[in-house]
Amino acid sequence: MTEEKKKKVVALLSGGLDSQLAIKMMQEQGFDVSAVAIKTPFCDFDCGRGCGFEIRERADDLDVNLKTVYLGDEYIEMLKKPKHGIGAGFNPCIDCRSMMFDAAKKHMEDIGAEFIISGEVLGQRPMSQHAPALRTIEKESDLVGKIVRPLSAALLPETIPEKDGLIKRENLGIIEGRTRRNQLDMAKKYGIENPPNAGGGCLLTEPQFGIKAKDLFEHKKNPTINDIDLLKIGRHFRLDEETKFVVGRNKDENEMIKAIALPDDILLEAKDFVGPVSILRGANLKKHLEFASSVTLRYSDAPNDKTAIVSIKQSDSVKEIITETAKEESYIQFRM
Ligand code: SF4
């Protein structure tokens, strides 16, 4: 195809290797690829967790335009009751992918692209990449026949672009399953250096995070982004149906807890010893204040057998409590 006659396609770009390969395959076949990257409160690809999600750099390397779409409140709304359930963590993959494809569809219509591609590989992920799930995702986003998964497409039903002669089956992949050997070979062929590791940066797939996220959604009718940011740090304790307590694990987390605190929250800190910043959030703060103070002391350098002062801050008011260090058996039952 000559430059001006290039047909446009939209790619969902995750930053992982598979979506990069899908883009390379389509570029090789003469398409002008535009990428859409989706941020959610659970994966912002800037979290520094080493999953290689430096989307902007990836897009530049691939020489594609990049549109970033943030799914915030609507994503939380979906997570309250995912139509297609959750996976092994708290991951609503089918509903999540449907929302991502919705966003890609909008971009496809906006720029007059022919179809959408993604790096999904048949059978690679248990919840969202088996054939019926791929089909469900297409139906949910009203894109039946309009999504091409170049890496596996020769194993999948014929799509509309194939029927229309825009792509040919012999140029499509037959990759299936979890091994990455084929993808690494392709990365070499396309000159993709330092291909990112498999496995994404989605917190919802992590079992420990999943427990905390599930607890939040079970106990709060309308969780906020702020609640979700708090899930990402600290040791979490469920004190009662309406109250939770989080203890910072290091200096960075202590700073983040201070930044996340809302006017009604209570911040606790050992006054005379190095230790965590803790946060009490919920309806029954007074009831748990003494307990939270003693646990805060327990995680500080305060000696176990003596009383010490904990400073308590709520909005602009600051007071002090003298208490003893908690015994582990008194709080471990509340730990998530
Ligand atoms: S792993 Fe996370 S980001 Fe990926 S589809 Fe599942 S819920 Fe969405």
pLDDT (tens digit, 9 = 90+) per residue, 318-329? 999 999 999 999
Cβ partners under 8 Å of residue 18, min gap 6: 119, 120, 121, 124, 151, 183
Residue 128 CA, closest ligand 1 atom number: 5
pLDDT of the residue at 50: 42
Structural domain for 271, as ranges: 233-334
pLDDT of the residue at 200: 60
Let me know if residue 82 belongs to a domain.
Answer: yes
Q: Of 188, 203, 218, at which residue does a domain stop?
A: 203
Q: Of 203, 224, 249, at which residue does a domain stop?
A: 203
Cβ partners under 8 Å of residue 316, min gap 6: none
Let me know if residue 70 belongs to a domain.
Answer: yes
Indicate if 144 and 293 belong to the same structural domain: no
Q: Of 203, 220, 241, at which residue does a domain stop?
A: 203
Let me know if residue 11 belongs to a domain.
Answer: yes
pLDDT of the residue at 315: 92
For tokens 């983040």, the residue is 256
Let me know if residue 223 belongs to a domain.
Answer: no
Specify the DSSP class assigned to residue 118: -
Indicate if 308 and 257 belong to the same structural domain: yes
Indicate if 281 and 182 belong to the same structural domain: no
Cβ partners under 8 Å of residue 104, min gap 6: 10, 11, 12, 36, 116, 118
Beta strand spans in the chain (E):
8-12, 32-39, 65-70, 115-117, 147-148, 235-240, 243-247, 266-270, 277-282, 307-314, 317-324
* 277 three-state secondary structure: strand
pLDDT of the residue at 51: 43
Indicate if 137 and 16 belong to the same structural domain: yes
Indicate if 274 and 146 belong to the same structural domain: no
Looking at the structure of the chain, the number of domains it has is 2
Indicate if 191 and 284 belong to the same structural domain: no
Indicate if 176 and 90 belong to the same structural domain: yes
Residue 205 CA, closest ligand 1 atom number: 1
Let me know if residue 214 belongs to a domain.
Answer: no
Let me know if residue 217 belongs to a domain.
Answer: no
pLDDT of the residue at 52: 40
Indicate if 260 and 321 belong to the same structural domain: yes
Output the pTM of the full model: 0.89
Ligand 1 pocket, mutate which of 94, 204, 206, 214 (most atoms under 8 A from CB): 204
Q: Is 200 in the pocket of ligand 1 (CB under 6 A)?
A: yes
CB 37 within 8 A of CB 76: no
Q: Which class for 273: exposed (0-12), middle (13-18), buried (19 or more C-beta within 10 A)? A: middle
Indicate if 98 and 166 belong to the same structural domain: yes
Q: Using CA atoms, how far apart are residues 266 and 315, in angstroms rounded to an integer? A: 8
CB 321 within 8 A of CB 302: no
Let me know if residue 251 belongs to a domain.
Answer: yes
What are the tens digits of pLDDT across the range 101-160? 999 999 999 999 999 999 999 998 877 788 899 999 999 999 999 999 999 999 999 999
CB 114 within 8 A of CB 68: no
Q: Provide the b/e sequence for 276-295 (b: ≥16 CB within 10 Å).
A: bbbbbbbeebeebbebbbbb
CA of 317 to the centre of ligand 1 (A): 41
pLDDT of the residue at 310: 98
Let me know if residue 208 belongs to a domain.
Answer: no
Specify the DSSP class assigned to residue 245: E
pLDDT of the residue at 44: 56
For tokens 């904990």, the residue is 310
CA of 175 to the centre of ligand 1 (A): 21
Indicate if 185 and 309 belong to the same structural domain: no
Domain CATH code at residue 69: 3.40.50.620
Q: What residues in the chain have per-residue pLDDT under 50? A: 48-52
Indicate if 238 and 121 belong to the same structural domain: no
Indicate if 237 and 291 belong to the same structural domain: yes
Kindly state the tokens that stand for 194.
């330092």
